[in-house]
Amino acid sequence: AQSVAQPEDQVNVAEGNPLTVKCTYSVSGNPYLFWYVQYPNRGLQFLLKYITGDNLVKGSYGFEAEFNKSQTSFHLKKPSALVSDSALYFCAFDQIMIYNQGGKLIFGQGTELSVKP
């Protein structure tokens, strides 16, 4: 079955240090990959997406992600973490079903990012 996986339940980073939140995918064809963030007691906010083109994708709040086809990864990165980046991060892929106009976003398990001052 097609899926995305986030191998780390939690990532702890000191403010000002670079951060990486990992995501690997098992998706046939050309995957459309996304990162969403969920702040405490809030909804899901879109951060960035990879569709095609440059493997390095830039998104909101200074985040970026690198699509690596050989390693089937789409890790989320930020050069300098802020305390306000502390949240739950979800990797996802868009599962399209051409025949019936269907499809849906499939999420990974989520990674809790904690940035300490």
Q: Which is nearer to another protein, 60 or 80 (CB)?
A: 60
Identify any residues that bridge with 94 across adjacent strands, giving them in sequence order: 105
Q: With binding defined as CB under 8 A, does residue 97 bind another protein?
A: yes
Query: Site for another protein (CB under 8 A): how many residues?
Result: 26
The DSSP result for 38-88, as a single string, is E-TT--EEEEEEE-SS-SEEE-GGG-EEEEETTTTEEEEEESS--GGG-EE
- Does the footprint of another protein cover residue 69 (CB under 8 A)? no
Q: Is 108 in the site for another protein (CB under 8 A)?
A: yes
- What does the alpha-carbon distance between residue 95 and residue 105 come to, in Å, rounded to a whole number? 6
Q: For residue 53, state whether it binds another protein (rule: CB under 8 A).
A: no
Q: How far apart are CA 43 and CA 111, in angstroms?
A: 15
Write down the residue that tokens 């599962």 correspond to. 95
Q: Is position 5 an interface residue for another protein (rule: CB under 8 A)? A: no
- Work out how close the CB of 84 gets to another protein at its nearest, in angstroms, rounded to a whole number: 18
Q: Which residues bind another protein (CB under 8 A)?
A: 32, 34, 36, 42-46, 49, 51, 88, 90, 94, 96-97, 100-110
